[in-house]
Structure 1
Amino acid sequence: MKTQIFAPDEITAAAATLRAGELVAFPTETVYGLGADATNEAAVKKVYQAKGRPSDNPLIVHVNSVAMVEQYAAEIPAAARQLMAHFWPGSLTIILKIKPGVLSKTVTGGLATVAFRYPDCAPTLALINAAGVPLVGPSANTSGKPSPTTAQHVYHDLAGKIAGILDNGPTRVGVESTVLDLSTAQPVILRPGAVTQADIEAVIGSIELNHHQVKQDEIPKAPGMKYKHYAPNAQVYMVRPDADWQQVKQWLQEQAAPVGVMATDSILQQLQLPATDLTFSLGTDVTTAAHRLFDGLRTFDHHPTIKQILVQAFPATGLGLAYMNRLNKSAGGQYFKY
């Protein structure tokens, strides 16, 4: 299969491809999603096949209006409507109970709930409108690999496996949306993102942050809760926020093989590493670091001699919670030790 790159002015052609039951990756403000008609079970199954995704991992359904959610949701609680008014379109995914039989188990993972998202990306909203259906949209990458933040990342993983990619350049946020479960009595963040716990609580009051570890035989309610995610080929190690980077520099100098380093510009300037070590700038702070994290992890996949990557950690507060959630999974919980 030849994978076509659609420009933002080729929405009609991309939508026709989706209506024909094929897969088209699309941009959002967070990462690129792998799109299929959410009402076409055969098309949705192709998403799992293309990604190599476990079949019990539910899919987020992307919409371009609250009215589209109303077609599928059993009810939309008042808290959900408040949050939709404040954060949609945007980086907040909301889990709701759905009407029986409106979406296949291939979409829901067999659950009675679905995660809905209204992305803040004009070409994709136009794509949904032209297709006339909501789109499933897990990250458009090989399952377990870092999420794609450019069309080129998508092409690297899925060329020849999907029909097309709608290219809108690099994404703005860089980490996936916050997932909030409103299908239960107590709202719970299942996956942190750019919309923080404090942001949500300012609108609807107290919510919880999920600490539940999904068991092997349990179906997760949201993506990213159960399986290995965001991992490049090399082993990633987190470098604690209070680390002595001069010790890190000394360790790097003792290594026979080159090591990848991802850190802010100020840290990289401190290290003054020789050309034998490859570096990737995370910018100036946690905001730029979140935006660049996946791009950096993918960059080192193009350097097969790199077997270890050190990545600067940040305090897990605000956006740092989302950043550390992704980095921790990428590293398998491993911290740098000297």
Structure 2
Amino acid sequence: MKQEDDIKQAIETMRKGGVILYPTDTVWGIGCDATNAEAVKRVYEIKQREDSKALICLVDSDARMQRYFRNVPDVAWQLIDSLKEATDAKPTTLILDGAINLAPNLIAEDGSLGIRITNEPFSKELCFRFQKAIVSTSANISGEPAAQNYCDIDPRILEAVDYVCWSRRQEHKPHTPSSIIKLKENGEVTVIRK
């Protein structure tokens, strides 16, 4: 299947409220429309994860990220700019306060949300074409290891989703989860995962 057709199928599935499995800039992810509370609820069910543990989102650009927060602090823009300049930068998820315009069950109790701008070609194009944030949580049952490659995905997850992307299924190489950095509006920075 051509990547373009794969992306079309994934988008069509998410527009109908479905859940997809897709390759990201880190590990394989379970995804859905980040504005659809029913779809988000299904992702929690598939992962067998408490909904008090927040999920993260992927977007394709700074401009798209800005739509989902009341205010993006200056320190976040500085970090994003420095990540763009670093050719070997590890994918980095930012947790920011004041999340808006998303499914309420996606936003943490304190009003924060983890978001990452992806530069990996498949997930970036998927986010760009979908025109909205896409949920991105590791394709595993909660508490089990993240699926680095397609071949690592638990059959229960493969059966539970509505569409499994074809792109990058043959890949066999190490992938690691993103770094996670929490940024407060007052400029306070906390590294959650290196």
Q: Output the TM-score relative to the length of structure 1.
A: 0.51
Q: Aligned-pair distance for 1:86?
A: 2.4
Q: Aligned-pair distance for 1:109?
A: 3.0
Compare 69-78 and 53-62 and name the one that shifted more.
Answer: 69-78
Secondary structure, counterpart of 1:136 in structure 2? strand
Compare 164-173 and 75-84 and name the one that shifted more.
Answer: 164-173
Compare 56-65 and 116-125 and name the one that shifted more.
Answer: 116-125
Q: Which residue of 2 aligns with 1:78?
A: 74
Q: Which residue of 1 aligns with 2:93?
A: 93
- How many matched pairs? 186
Q: 1:8 aligns with which of 3, 7, 15?
A: 3
Distance, in Å, in 1 between the alignment partners of 2:163 and 2:110 is 29
Q: Which residue of 1 aligns with 2:182?
A: 181
Q: Aligned-pair distance for 1:7?
A: 5.7
Residues 1:173 and 1:189: Cα distance change in structure 2 (over 3 Å): farther
Distance, in Å, in 1 between the alignment partners of 2:19 and 2:52 is 20
Runs of 5+ unmatched residues, structure 1: 1-5, 193-338
Question: Are 1:34 and 2:30 counterparts?
Answer: yes
Identity in percent: 26
Q: Which residue of 2 aligns with 1:65?
A: 61
Distance, in Å, in 2 between the alignment partners of 1:172 and 1:116 is 24
Secondary structure, counterpart of 2:82 in structure 1? helix
Secondary structure, counterpart of 2:181 in structure 1? strand
Q: Which residue of 2 aligns with 1:25?
A: 21
Q: Which residue of 2 aligns with 1:124?
A: 123
Residues 1:82 and 1:26: Cα distance change in structure 2 (over 3 Å): same
Q: Which residue of 1 aligns with 2:46?
A: 50
Structure having the higher Rg: 1
Paired amino acid for 1:183: K
Residues 1:171 and 1:105: Cα distance change in structure 2 (over 3 Å): farther
Runs of 5+ unmatched residues, structure 2: none
Secondary structure, counterpart of 2:137 in structure 1? coil
Residues 185-196 of structure 1: pairs in structure 2 closer than 5 A? 185=186, 186-192=188-194
Q: Aligned-pair distance for 1:103?
A: 2.3
| Residue pair 2:90, 2:179 contacting (<8 A) in 1 also | no
Q: Aligned-pair distance for 1:95?
A: 1.1
Distance, in Å, in 2 between the alignment partners of 1:75 and 1:160 is 39
Q: Aligned-pair distance for 1:156?
A: 2.8
| Residue pair 2:158, 2:164 contacting (<8 A) in 1 also | no
Paired amino acid for 1:86: S
Secondary structure, counterpart of 2:57 in structure 1? strand
| Residue pair 1:139, 1:147 contacting (<8 A) in 2 also | yes
Paired amino acid for 1:54: E
Q: Which residue of 2 aligns with 1:241?
A: none
Q: Aligned-pair distance for 1:121?
A: 1.3
Paired amino acid for 1:96: L
Residues 115-154 of structure 1: pairs in structure 2 closer than 5 A? 115-154=114-153
Distance, in Å, in 1 between the alignment partners of 2:150 and 2:29 is 10
Distance, in Å, in 2 between the alignment partners of 1:102 and 1:29 is 24
Secondary structure, counterpart of 1:175 in structure 2? coil
What's the C-alpha RMSD, in Å, of the aligned pairs?
2.0
> 1:55-83 CA distances to partner (integer Å, 9 max, x unpaired)?
10001111001111111112122221121
Q: Aligned-pair distance for 1:137?
A: 0.8
Paired amino acid for 1:146: P
Secondary structure, counterpart of 1:159 in structure 2? helix
Paired amino acid for 1:178: S
> 1:129-175 CA distances to partner (integer Å, 9 max, x unpaired)?
22221111110111111100112222534121001222324376522
